[in-house]
Homo-oligomer: A and B are copies of this chain.
Amino acid sequence: MADNNKKMVDAITSMEEDFAKWYTDVVIKADLVDYSGVKGCMVIKPYGYAIWELIQKQLDERFKELGHENVYMPMFIPESLLQKEKDHVEGFAPEVAWVTHGGSEPLQERLCVRPTSETLFCEHYANAVHSWRDLPKLYNQWCSVVRWEKTTRPFLRTREFLWQEGHTIHETAEEAVKETEQMLEVYADFCENVLNMPVVKGRKTESDKFAGAEATYAIEALMHDGKALQAGTSHYFGDGFARAFGIQFADRENKLQYVHQTSWGVTTRLIGAIIMSHGDNNGLVLPPKVAPTQVVVIPIAMHKPGVREKAEELVSRLKKCFRVKADYSDNSPGWKFSEYEMKGVPLRLEIGPKDIENNQCVLVRRDNREKTFVSLDDLENEVARLLDAVGQGLYDKAKANMENRTYRCTSIDEIKENLSAHGDGFVEAMWCGEEACEDKVKELTGVGSRCIPFAQEQLSDVCVCCGKPAKHMVMWGVAY
């Protein structure tokens, strides 16, 4: 058993040795993705895709509860349509894939594969909206998008990725701002309560906004290695796109007005965030609410009479409330333990002849390996309790990591010292609001501005860089 365990663990690089290598080892060994022959694109395997389906389902329910409706727009954008909003085309044109031929015929106008669908939604809204009675439109789309990235890594940055993109239009600016904020809250709540991943909510600086947005809000999470990962964004567009695309409506006084617009999205990148927030040197650790298998049942001494039957009985009991599977293969229990640890299954249930004698089983938590002997009479309650405990445990650990690695600094030297003493992390420091200082902080310390947190503190009165009066506390970090 010990040998088997060792063999599996040896198969992945340790985090401390090489975090990037550890990450790619985990995505492959945990059976999440495979590389494909198409450079920069990934094959999402059943286990990885099942996690995405659970994310989709739970997010989609939240969207729908708030009145959003799903639609599907074309995957192609004519070049002339992409060019309608100046900032937008400048932001995206350099990284799109261009379709130039249909069959053997060259196209009259080339089409890009959508990198995001603002332009398509705008074109549709311009046709569909006439009166204030048609507003708001609260549309969302689940689809894949393409951005021609140079360097790619599974889930974190790929040329094609899966996402949802919400696109809403409203009668007033206030309503649109409220929607932008609301959706950021939905994402933050989802990350914290479903993915057990604490996040910082904030606004992007001007230089870091979405192409065409008036304001971009984001949630930022801190990975195991102290790097920041942007986990979701919500944009307020004002009426910029509406003016470019002519989306007008007759208001309550029958005057023509432009709509006020938002968009918001999260991607398969969230799976990368889960891996780097919760994983360990034994592999993946999955938040119970998105784990395709929440409990794996492993029979011990399966050749002994009654063991397999008992395991089957427990599986059929647990199936009613949980996502459960059993492993009846010929592999040794130790091999199986390692296998499901690698796959991050939150709870392992061991059942052997002695347990059966005592009307009990053993439940082992993935996050801290704590063992609990549980009476079979109380099995469902104990499984539910322990799954909650795993979720809470993951959150607490990630929260502690974030707090330990958040450095409040009032000088450039202090930033440097903290980063060199404790490694990468979130740096909180005051900023005057000038892009030149933003760039200089990055140049001098290596950390860029991640966001201006909603939760502001006055760490000092002056900019950490130029010493002029400070406008905001910025959270800085090294971004994925």
* Chain A residues at the B interface, C-beta cutoff of 8 Å: 34, 36-38, 41-46, 49-50, 52-53, 69-78, 81, 93-104, 111, 113, 120, 123-124, 127-128, 139, 143-144, 146, 148, 159-160, 162
Within 8 Å CB of A111, what residues of B?
A: 38, 97
A73–B113 alpha-carbon span in the complex (Å): 16
**Residue in B closest to A141 when the chains form the complex, CB atoms:** B49
Q: Once the chains bind, are A75 and B160 in contact (CB under 8 Å)?
A: yes
- Contact A34/B160 with A49-B72, A144-B143 known, Cβ cut-off 8 Å: no
Contact B160 A124 (CB under 8 A): no
A113-B113, A124-B36, A124-B43 are known contacts. Are A50 and B69 too (CB-CB below 8 A)?
yes
Q: Give chain B residues whose Cβ lies under 8 Å from the Cβ of A73.
A: 36, 43-44
Closest to A37 in B: B123
Residues of B contacting A71 in the complex (Cβ-Cβ under 8 angstroms)? 43-46, 49
Most buried by B among A77, A103, A160: A103
* A43-B124, A71-B44 given; A102·B148 CB < 8 A: yes
Q: Do A75 and B34 touch (CB < 8 A)?
A: no
- A102-B73 Cα distance, complex, nearest whole Å: 22
A-B pairs with beta carbons under 8 Å apart, 5 shown: A37-B123, A43-B73, A76-B97, A94-B104, A99-B100
Chain B residues positioned under 8 Å from A144 (CB to CB): 72, 75, 143
A38, A94, A128 — most chain B CB neighbours (10 Å): A38
Q: In the complex the two chains form, what is the Cα distance from A120 to B34 in whole Å?
A: 12
Tell me, rounded to whole Å, the shortest Cβ–Cβ distance linking A54 to chain B: 12
Q: How far is the CA of A454 from the CA of B21 in the complex (A)?
A: 55
* Number of copies of chain A assembled together: 2
Known contacts: A43-B71, A76-B160, A101-B98. The answer to whether A124 contacts B34 by CB under 8 A is yes
A162 to B143, CA, bound (A): 10
Nearest chain B CB to A74 CB, angstrom units: 4
Q: Which of B70, B102, B162 contacts A46 (CB 8 A)?
A: B70
Q: How far does the Cβ of A423 sit from chain B's closest Cβ, in whole Å?
A: 34
**A36 close to B123 (CB less than 8 A):** yes
A sample of 4 more A-B contacts (CB under 8 A), given A37-B123, A42-B74, A97-B111, is: A44-B72, A94-B103, A94-B104, A98-B99
A43→B104 CA distance, assembly (Å): 26
Q: Give the complex CA separation of A38 and B113 in angstroms.
A: 12
Residues of B within 8 A of A148 (CB): 102-103
Minimum CB distance partner of A104 in chain B = B94
B41 and A76 within 8 A (CB): yes
A101 neighbours in B (Cβ, 8 Å): 97-98, 100
* A74 interface neighbour in B69, B95, B160, Cβ under 8 Å: B160
Q: How long is the Cα–Cα vector from A37 to B121 in the complex, in angstroms?
A: 11
Contacts of A76 in B (CB 8 A): 38, 41, 97, 160
Residues of B within 8 A of A104 (CB): 94
**A364 → B minimal CB distance (Å):** 26
Please, how many angstroms separate the alpha-carbon atoms of A98 and B103 in the complex?
Answer: 7
Residue of B nearest to A53 (CB): B70
Residues in chain B near residue A97, CB distance under 8 A: 76, 99, 101-102, 111
Q: For A102, what are the chain B residues with a Cβ–Cβ distance below 8 Å? A: 95-98, 148, 159
Tell me the complex Cα distance, A177–B81, Å: 47
Of the candidates B34, B69, B74, the one whose C-beta lies within 8 Å of that of A43 is: B74
With both beta carbons as reference points, the residue of chain B lying nearest to A127 in the complex is identified as B34
Q: Are B160 and A36 in contact (CB under 8 A)?
A: no
Check A162/B72 contact, CB under 8 A, given A34-B124, A34-B127, A78-B37: yes
Lowest 6 A-B CB distances belong to which pairs?
A: A41-B74, A46-B69, A102-B148, A44-B72, A98-B101, A38-B74
Name the distance in Å between A84's Cβ and chain B's nearest Cβ: 11
The winner among A70, A73, A102, A113 for most chain B CB atoms within 10 A is A102
For A146, the chain B residues whose CB sits under 8 A away are 75
Q: What's the Cα separation between A99 and B148 when bound, in Å?
A: 12
CB distance from A45 to the nearest CB of B (A): 6
Rounded to whole angstroms, the CA-CA distance of A240 and B98 in the bound complex is 33
Residue among B34, B74, B113 making CB contact with A99, cutoff 8 Å: B113
Q: Across the interface, which residues of B come within 8 angstroms of A34, CB to CB?
A: 124, 127-128
